[in-house]
Amino acid sequence: MCALVAVGSTYGTIFGIGGSSVVQIFNSYCDNIVSSTPDSGSFNGDYELIFGTTLSFHADSIGEADISGISFTYQGNTFDQSGCFSRTVGGSTFVDSLVQCNFPC
């Protein structure tokens, strides 16, 4: 099994002044298996893996205590948010949202 982990963060005030997002993809040994990331500067896009395969990832929102619209395609199989684990933590100065989706690789 492999795992796709996406994290979105906002900071500043409760309304979020700035933020960041990242997607990492790991094998069953917790090794990062991404060889290249999307050029768009967004976490949405195609991730080339060390196996020579591509994982296409999309999320409507990750961050500001909102995780929605997650889907990804790998080797002809499409996965959605229903099979993922998610967690949001934060307070008045930051909000972190994390989602983990396991998939066969």
User: Domain total for the chain?
Assistant: 1
- The answer to whether the CB of 27 falls within 8 A of the CB of 35 is no
Q: Which of 60, 49, 101 is nearest to 78 (CA)?
A: 101
Sign of CA dihedral 68, 66, 28, 26: positive
Residue by residue, pLDDT tens for the chain (105 residues) are: 999 998 877 665 444 445 667 888 999 999 999 988 887 656 788 999 999 999 999 988 776 667 788 899 999 999 998 889 888 777 656 667 888 999 998
Range of the domain at 66: 2-103
Quote the pLDDT of residue 72. Answer: 95
Q: What is the reported pTM? A: 0.80
Sign of CA dihedral 22, 27, 52, 86: negative
Quote the pLDDT of residue 16. Answer: 46
> How many Å apart are CA 8 and CA 6, to the nearest integer?
7
Quote the pLDDT of residue 1. Answer: 92
> How many Å apart are CA 21 and CA 8, to the nearest integer?
4
Quote the pLDDT of residue 88. Answer: 76
